[in-house]
Structure 1
Amino acid sequence: MEFQEKAFQSKNGNQYLLRSPREEDAGIMLAYLKKTAQETERGLSYPEEMDMSIEEEADFIKHFLEDERSMMISVYDDDKLVGGASLSSVGEKQKIRHRASIGIALLKDVWGQGIGRSLMTELLSFAKEAGYVQIELEVVADNVSAIGLYESLGFVTYGRRPNFFRLKDGNYVEGILMVLACNKLP
């Protein structure tokens, strides 16, 4: 579903625009995703693993725009894409369609400005309106600031996943599994 454009002022007074990405944004979306992957090992992929074509990314964006139970929101600083988040159903089978998964990524230079909270708040509001009962996420255990944000929004830890990520150096990183009941949302 398309998110209606909204201006956002960060903690430090910068102005940002929240909006759904468009199919023509596919190229800048791929560049942004590669950059977030270069800046931190907390994401799902290394930059060189991001081999999606512009056409495939455009189709991915189109799916989010057309699916009434999914939403993707991007954050723009003028024309520069600096962040994004998405929410989608865990699956469409009747037994699991009440559950949604949420994910977020921001460029490092905008961390700590309240952008993550703004994105999460918008997606959680959408989730409630879309009729979801439960929102789920996974986060790297050492991402203390993200865990703090999620907890402040009502998420609770329900488990830990050992060996969540295997890094290039062979070390493993633990993951935290978190959940939020939508009836706890305002």
Structure 2
Amino acid sequence: MTVKIIKNKQIEADKLFQLMSTLDKETNYMLYQPEERKYDRKKLETFIQNTSENGLILVAEEDSEYNGYIFAQVTPLTKIKHSAYLVIGVLSDHAGQGLGSELLAQVIDWARVSGIHRLELTVVTENSAAIGLYKKFGFIQEGVKKDSLLVNGRYYDEFYMARILD
């Protein structure tokens, strides 16, 4: 298996939308319900452009198909521009094969070079695979968002997790 990591503006909106839509159907751990994600190519291209300018998007591609991504979003606001908020998703067929580790390692390298001091994210408290990945990369739990998500009539808590870079 050869995975290629694609960066920022080289990302194809159609393929990225397909990946995000598939993840929405595969797991309750992503924010969107499958029927909530609507395709608007122009909006997605604008998102890719804005995130590329104020952060980083990496997508893993194998055999012309996207199978994982990570977004590192940075705001230009002075008080918090040292932080990047992360969103990561890997298709279930590719989970446990090191893809999440590769994406996260590349984001950490980018953050160091870019002067980012803090990486942060939220994760459903029951998502033990993701929590294990984040802990492996030095993320620590900072707090709990009680009843943060409502999925199929059930509330889920989320952990706030972060890593401070040297």
Q: When the two structures are superposed, what TM-score results if normalisation uses the length of structure 2?
A: 0.95
Native 8 Å contact 2:143 2:160 kept in 1: yes
SS at match of 2:61: strand
Change (3 A) 1:33 1:72: same
1:37 matched residue in structure 2: 24
Identity %: 25
2:128 equivalent in structure 1: 144
> Distance in 1 between the 2:11 and 2:69 partners?
16
1:7-37: per-residue Cα shift (whole Å, max 9, x none)?
A: xxxxxxx111001254671112111111000
User: Does the C-alpha gap of structure 1 residues 51 and 154 become closer, same or farther in structure 2, counting only changes over 3 Å?
Assistant: same
1:176 equivalent among 159, 162, 165 = 159
Q: Which stretch shows the higher mean deviation, 153-162 or 16-25?
A: 16-25
Distance in 1, Cα, partners of 2:89 & 2:11? 20
Contact 1:134-1:179 within 8 A present in 2 as well: yes
Q: Displacement of 1:145 after TM fit?
A: 1.0
User: 1:119-130 to 2 correspondence within 5 Å?
Assistant: 119-130=103-114
Question: How much does 1:64 deviate?
Answer: 2.8
Map 1:113-124 onto structure 2 (within 5 A).
113-124=97-108
| Equivalent position of 1:70 in the other structure | 55
Distance change (3 Å), C-alpha of 1:23 and 1:50? farther
Counterpart position of 1:19: 6
1:58 lines up with 2:41 in the alignment: no
CA displacement 1:88-116 (0-9 Å, x = unmatched): 21x32211111111110011100000000
Q: Contact 1:23/1:59 (CA < 8 Å) preserved in 2?
A: no
| Consecutive unaligned residues in structure 2, runs of 5 or more | none
Counterpart in the other structure of 1:153:
137
For 1:160 and 1:149, the matched residues in 2 are separated by 18
Q: Which residue of 1 aligns with 2:70?
A: 85
Q: State the alpha-carbon separation in 1 of the partners of residues 31 and 141 from structure 2.
A: 20
RMSD of Structure 2 on Structure 1 (CA)? 1.3
Unmatched 5+ stretches in structure 1: 1-13
Contact 1:23 1:58 in 2 (8 A): no
Say how many residue pairs are matched: 166
Q: Is the 8 A contact 1:103 1:137 kept in 2?
A: yes
Moved more, 22-31 or 109-118: 22-31
1:52 deviates by 3.7
Aligned to 1:142, what secondary structure does the other structure show? coil
User: Match for 2:159: what amino acid?
Assistant: I
Deviation track 1:31-56 (CA, whole Å, cap 9, x = no partner) reads 11110000000001011101140111
